[in-house]
Amino acid sequence: MGKITLWLALAGLVWLGWTLWRLGQRRADSRRAEASSQHKASHESPHHTPSAGADPPAPEPMLRCAHCGLYLPAADTVVDKAGQSYCGTAHRDAAERAAGTTGRRG
């Protein structure tokens, strides 16, 4: 009877040790996950990919420069009086000079 009691006590100690070890692992995992989410939130950039479940941002239309043909986001274009898009003021001015719409004589 003494040997059975000893084996039962040993099995109980093994179970208790395993349970406590798993509890520590769960706490460590939750701490790591919390620290990771705080790290990501503090280092988020405007170009950060949204998490699953969030709607992705709508793509921005790309417009072609009427002078050189470069495609760039619509927000970065320079538009002339006729509504043509350009990659910068230099190309807008060059197109206006070529068309003779600036009124300057050179």
Task: Provide the pLDDT for residue 49.
Answer: 57
Residue 53 lies in a domain: no
Q: Which domain holds residue 69?
A: 62-99
Q: Say if residues 31 and 38 touch (Cβ distance below 8 Å).
A: no
CA torsion sign for 87, 90, 93, 97 is negative
Mean pLDDT by 10 residues, the chain (106 residues): 92 95 90 78 58 79 94 93 93 90 51
pTM, full prediction: 0.43
Residue 35 lies in a domain: no
Task: Provide the pLDDT for residue 36.
Answer: 79
Number of structural domains (the chain) is 1
Residue 76 lies in a domain: yes
Task: Provide the pLDDT for residue 14.
Answer: 96
Residue 104 lies in a domain: no
Residue 93 lies in a domain: yes
Phi and psi angles of residue 71, each rounded to the nearest 5 degrees, phi first: -95, 135
Task: Provide the pLDDT for residue 42.
Answer: 61
Q: How far apart are CA 69 and CA 67, in angstroms?
A: 6
